[in-house]
């Protein structure tokens, strides 16, 4: 199987003088299902379309965008596997020195806000050719959103990019339907009915739910909080209406999400003949660093029903778990043995949370009427089937395949969900066979105030899991360790909460944590809404937000005393008095009718700031 065409010579080798669809990506071209351009390109190819890829084009001119000519149907544009601003900047807004999705890890091969830049270049080069944008950058900026890097509310990326359609979520169904519509000659207007897509219109659908407008959300913190709550409550594909948000004299229309993929549909996608290699043009530059750790990893499922407020996975992939069949996964593992690069180890068998494979609600119809974003917090849903046997059975069959030496689960587990597995077989099998000495978990914090604002279980739940993990390893006679991920400077985290976490690290953890990151507000997430407005969007209670660079560094320094760069940022000097009103039992912020402006946080939502936006 050849790589998809990246130039005219590749097209000529296939006897093609024109492509149906051209995918433009901010990532280098890696033929692997973890790269969206490859996955979507292979799927479109499988359905009979002629597909080419323009990877990491030089955006400073039109030349790279012209290399494959005009497609018969449309251009598909994505910034890559990450939002380009996350890819380029640290939580402290410092420029990153490396881009693991680029050849040799070289930084600077894609622009900031790549989706907008690429789409505008295509408009210049090919006026009239339909452009469809997608990927996590477009998906999480489909409506008015707080942008951490410019520290302001930005309008929908549809308006800035001038694309014809935005496909949000994982996008396979919507992209295939869009290709079919255009192939049948029905025109761009017919794309507006595709589920899982957004478009700009002069009028709103009859049954659409009207959201606070861009102008309202950018000028009023309470309105922005209401916007966040409405988005979160209308993300169920079986229940959500179309959403409409006014931007000036135009409307951004968000159609209901695409329905979750069934196992057969997931199998179709992941059974395609990926080479699991980067394109040969990158060999002289050292290949693509991001491929090394995932080349022979296996994705068992998509989706996450954890509902963490700082995370975009559930918003992008949905909360319904979409699992591959066991046979598909076993066939994938057998194919590794024939691959010339395979050395016998499968570094990860998992997904967003590895132990959600095969899980679902006990009552499908009831789940389809549910508006909860988390099936686990504040407490596990009694209607959730927490039988972990699908994973245990899959592991057993994988261990029987000759040629597989090590099979690891490295993508992290949801520890509160493991505690719901009454048989205990998952944790026992995990520790016995699939933990290479260290297991990733994500308690994130120890303050119950902070974990509640994060949408995470309380600290007592984590401590219970720590005890279970230690007990199972004692039974097995193994010395294995938990690697906890911690987040500093999340909304709600003031001096007392930071001290509480630092005491836990100093007194109860067996080592200084390396997996510590300062909180980064990601577009459209609940935590980003709290960071921007200073309100909990579900309750309109005030939330303390550590915003200054100095305080953010100091909170992190309390956890990483061994890191001299972080430690030398200075001793914490934020005042307990200035935070007391936020860490005491919280007060209601404002009536939704009359006092919104009075309660907006400092330097948010002023008339002067609104004019700048």
Nearest alpha-carbon partner for 256 in 307, 209, 201, 308: 209
**Per DSSP, what are the bridge partners of residue 361?**
384
Q: What is the mean pLDDT of the chain?
A: 91
CB 447 within 8 A of CB 388: no
pLDDT score, position 565: 53
pLDDT score, position 1: 60
What is the CA angle 197-202-208, rounded to 5?
55
Q: How confident is the model at residue 332 (pLDDT cuts 50, 70, 90)?
A: very high
- Rounded mean pLDDT, 2-10: 96
pLDDT score, position 507: 85
Q: What is the pLDDT of residues 537-559, one digit of tens each?
A: 999 999 999 999 999 999 999 88
Paired tokens of 143: 């409506």
pLDDT score, position 411: 87
pLDDT score, position 604: 44
Nearest alpha-carbon partner for 16 in 50, 64, 40: 50
> What is the Cα–Cα distance from 33 to 232, expressed in whole angstroms?
28
CB 172 within 8 A of CB 269: yes
**Is pLDDT at 290 greater than 80 in this prediction?**
yes
Which of the two residues, 513 and 57, has the higher pLDDT score?
57
> What is the Cα–Cα distance from 115 to 488, expressed in whole angstroms?
30
- Rounded mean pLDDT, 53-80: 97
Paired tokens of 178: 């869009």
Q: What global pTM score does this model have?
A: 0.91
Q: Which residue has the tokens 């979507």?
A: 40
Q: What is the pLDDT of residues 83-133, one digit of tens each?
A: 999 999 999 999 999 999 999 999 999 999 999 999 999 999 999 999 999
> What is the Cα–Cα distance from 180 to 193, expressed in whole angstroms?
13
- Rounded mean pLDDT, 584-603: 35
pLDDT score, position 601: 43
Residues 6+ apart with CB under 8 A from 561: 512, 567
What is the CA angle 202-207-209, rounded to 5?
80
Query: What pairing do the DSSP bridges indicate for beta strands 298-299 and 349-350?
Result: parallel
> What is the Cα–Cα distance from 238 to 530, expressed in whole angstroms?
28
What sign for the dihedral angle of Cα 538, 540, 543, 548? positive
The percent of residues in the chain predicted with pLDDT above 90, rounded, is 87
> What is the Cα–Cα distance from 319 to 590, expressed in whole angstroms?
31
Q: How confident is the model at residue 422 (pLDDT cuts 50, 70, 90)?
A: confident
* 3-class DSSP string for 115-149: HHHHHHHHHHHCCCCCEEECHHHHHCCCCCEEECC
> What is the Cα–Cα distance from 223 to 432, expressed in whole angstroms?
51
Q: How confident is the model at residue 560 (pLDDT cuts 50, 70, 90)?
A: confident
pLDDT score, position 610: 35
- Cα–Cα distances in angstroms (integers) from residue 543 to residues 135, 421, 473, 522, 557, in the given order: 31, 34, 40, 18, 22
Tell me which H or E stretch contains 139: helix 135-139
Q: How confident is the model at residue 162 (pLDDT cuts 50, 70, 90)?
A: very high
Residues 6+ apart with CB under 8 A from 515: 440, 483, 484, 485, 486
Q: What is the pLDDT of residues 440-460, one digit of tens each?
A: 999 999 999 999 999 999 999
CATH topology of domain 263-578: pyruvate-formate lyase- activating enzyme (3.80.30)
Q: What is the pLDDT of residues 245-276, one digit of tens each?
A: 999 999 999 999 999 999 999 999 999 999 99
Helices first, then strands: H and E counts in the chain: 25, 24
**Is pLDDT at 35 greater than 60 in this prediction?**
yes
SS3 559: coil
């Amino acid at each position: 199987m050849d790589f998809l065409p990246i130039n005219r010579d590749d097209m000529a080798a296939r006897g093609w003088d024109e492509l149906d669809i051209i995918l433009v990506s901010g990532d280098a071209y890696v033929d692997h299902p973890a790269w969206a351009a490859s996955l979507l390109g292979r799927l479109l190819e499988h359905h009979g379309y002629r597909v080419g890829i323009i990877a990491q084009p030089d955006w400073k001119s039109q030349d790279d965008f012209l290399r494959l000519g005009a497609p018969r149907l449309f251009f598909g544009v994505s910034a890559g596997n990450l939002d380009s601003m996350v890819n380029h900047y640290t939580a402290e807004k410092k420029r990153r020195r490396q881009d693991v999705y680029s050849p040799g890890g070289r930084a600077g091969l894609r622009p900031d806000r790549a989706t907008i830049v690429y789409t505008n270049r295509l408009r210049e080069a090919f006026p009239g050719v339909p452009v469809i944008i997608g990927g996590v950058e477009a998906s999480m900026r489909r409506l008015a959103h707080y942008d951490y890097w410019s520290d302001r509310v930005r309008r929908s990326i549809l308006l800035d990019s001038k694309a014809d359609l935005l496909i949000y979520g994982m996008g396979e169904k919507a992209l295939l339907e869009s290709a079919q519509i255009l192939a049948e000659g029905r025109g761009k207007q017919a794309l507006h009915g595709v589920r899982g897509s957004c478009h700009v219109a002069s009028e709103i659908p009859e049954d659409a739910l009207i959201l606070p407008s861009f102008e309202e959300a950018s000028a009023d913190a309470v309105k922005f909080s209401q916007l966040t709550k409405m988005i979160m409550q209308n993300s169920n594909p079986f229940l959500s209406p179309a959403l409409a948000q006014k931007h000036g004299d135009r409307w951004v229309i968000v159609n209901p999400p695409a329905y979750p993929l069934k196992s057969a549909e997931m199998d179709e996608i992941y059974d395609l003949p990926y080479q699991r290699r980067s394109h040969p043009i990158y060999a002289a530059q050292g290949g693509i660093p991001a491929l090394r750790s995932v080349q022979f990893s296996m994705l068992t499922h998509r989706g996450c029903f954890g509902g963490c407020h700082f995370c975009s996975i559930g918003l992008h992939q949905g909360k319904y778990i979409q699992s591959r069949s066991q046979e598909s996964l076993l066939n994938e593992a057998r194919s590794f043995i024939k691959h010339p690069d395979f050395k016998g180890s499968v570094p990860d068998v998992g997904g967003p949370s590895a132990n959600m494979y095969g899980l679902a609600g006990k009552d499908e119809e009831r789940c389809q009427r549910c508006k909860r974003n988390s099936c686990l917090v504040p407490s596990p849903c009694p209607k959730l089937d927490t039988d972990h046997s699908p994973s245990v059975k899959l592991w057993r069959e994988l261990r029987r395949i000759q040629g597989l030496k090590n099979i690891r689960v490295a993508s992290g587990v949801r520890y509160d969900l493991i505690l719901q597995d009454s048989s205990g077989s998952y944790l026992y099998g995990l520790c016995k066979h699939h933990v290479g000495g260290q297991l990733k978990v994500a308690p994130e914090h120890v303050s119950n105030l902070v974990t509640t604002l994060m949408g995470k279980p309380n600290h007592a739940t984590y401590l219970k899991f720590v005890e279970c993990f230690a007990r199972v390893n004692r039974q097995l006679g193994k010395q294995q360790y938990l690697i906890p991920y911690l987040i500093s400077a999340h909304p709600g985290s003031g001096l007392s909460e930071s001290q509480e976490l630092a005491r836990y690290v100093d007194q109860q953890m067996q080592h200084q944590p390396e997996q510590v990151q300062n909180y980064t507000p990601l577009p459209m997430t609940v935590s980003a809404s709290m960071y921007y407005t200073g309100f909990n969007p579900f309750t309109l209670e005030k939330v303390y937000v550590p915003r200054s660079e100095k305080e953010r560094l100091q909170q992190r320094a309390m956890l990483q005393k061994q890191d001299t760069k972080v430690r030398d940022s200075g001793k914490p000097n934020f005042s307990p008095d200035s935070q007391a009103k936020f860490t005491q039992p919280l007060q209601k912020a404002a009536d939704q009718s009359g006092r919104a402006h009075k309660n907006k946080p400092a330097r948010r939502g002023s008339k002067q700031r609104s004019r700048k936006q």
